[in-house]
C-alpha cells in the first residue's frame, strides 16, 4: 500500500509522465525545453524509486518533475504503481506520448488516459512529443490534448513549448 499524505498536496507543477515507456532522449529533450519555457528546474525520478519517499518531499512545488520509466508498472517496493501513488497523493499529471511518422498516436495514450481516469489521477491532459501534429485526428480521438512539443529543429518548437508553458502556469495553483 502507498503511504498517503493527510491533505491534498499543494503543487506548482504537474508531474510529467510517459504514456508507457518513451524513448529516453525524446522525453528528456522535450521536458528540458518545457522547463526552460516555464523558467523552472527539472528533476528526473526513476520509476523504480519509492513514490512515497519522493512525493513526501513535494519536488513539484518548485519545478517540473519527470518520471522516467513505466508509471503503470508495480514498483520494486511493492507499491501498486506510480500512477496509483499519484492518485493517492492527488498529484496532477501531464501525460506525454510520442507520435508516429504519419502523426498517428499509439493506443497507449488512450489506455494511459483511461487508467488515469480509473485510478482518479488528476490528469491535466496529454502532450504529443515530436512527429507531425494532426489537429483533426487529435480532436477525433477524444483525449484532452494540451499541446505539442515538436522536435528541437522544428520551426514552431519555441512557439509550441511557450504556449504549453503558459497553459500550465494558468492551471497551476502556485
Q: Which domains does the chain have, with CATH numbers?
A: 15-169 (3.40.50.300)
Please state, as a whole number, how many other Cβ atoms lie within 10 Å of the Cβ of residue 34. Answer: 25
Span 74-99, mean pLDDT? 91
- Note the pLDDT tens digit of each residue in 96-122: 999 988 889 999 999 999 999 999 999
Provide the 3-class DSSP secondary structure of residue 65. Answer: strand
What nine digits make up the cell of 90?
492527488
Mean predicted confidence (pLDDT) in 164-169:
91
Q: Which of 76, 152, 163 is nearest to 125 (CA)?
A: 163
Mean pLDDT of 57-75: 91
Which of these, 78, 75, 83, 161, lies nearest to 122 by C-alpha position?
83
Selected residue with higher pLDDT from 129 and 76: 129
Q: What is the mean pLDDT of the chain?
A: 89
157 — pLDDT class (breaks 50, 70, 90): very high
pLDDT at 172: 59
Amino acid at each position: 500500500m502507498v503511504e498517503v499524505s493527510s491533505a491534498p498536496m499543494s503543487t506548482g507543477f504537474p508531474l510529467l509522465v510517459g504514456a508507457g515507456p518513451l524513448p529516453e532522449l525524446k522525453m528528456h529533450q522535450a521536458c528540458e525545453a518545457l522547463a526552460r519555457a516555464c523558467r523552472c528546474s527539472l528533476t528526473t525520478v526513476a520509476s523504480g524509486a519509492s513514490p512515497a519517499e519522493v512525493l513526501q518531499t513535494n519536488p513539484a512545488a518548485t519545478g517540473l518533475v519527470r518520471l522516467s520509466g513505466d508509471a503503470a508498472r508495480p514498483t520494486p517496493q511493492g507499491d501498486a504503481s506510480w500512477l496509483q501513488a499519484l492518485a493517492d497523493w492527488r498529484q496532477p499529471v501531464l501525460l506525454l506520448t510520442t507520435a508516429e511518422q504519419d502523426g498517428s498516436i499509439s493506443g497507449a495514450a488512450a489506455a494511459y488516459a483511461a487508467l488515469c481516469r480509473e485510478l482518479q489521477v488528476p490528469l491535466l491532459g496529454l502532450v504529443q512529443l515530436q512527429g507531425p501534429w494532426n489537429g483533426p485526428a487529435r480532436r477525433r480521438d477524444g483525449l484532452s490534448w494540451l499541446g505539442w512539443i515538436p522536435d528541437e529543429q522544428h520551426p514552431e518548437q519555441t512557439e509550441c513549448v511557450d504556449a504549453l508553458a503558459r497553459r500550465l502556469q494558468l492551471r497551476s495553483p502556485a
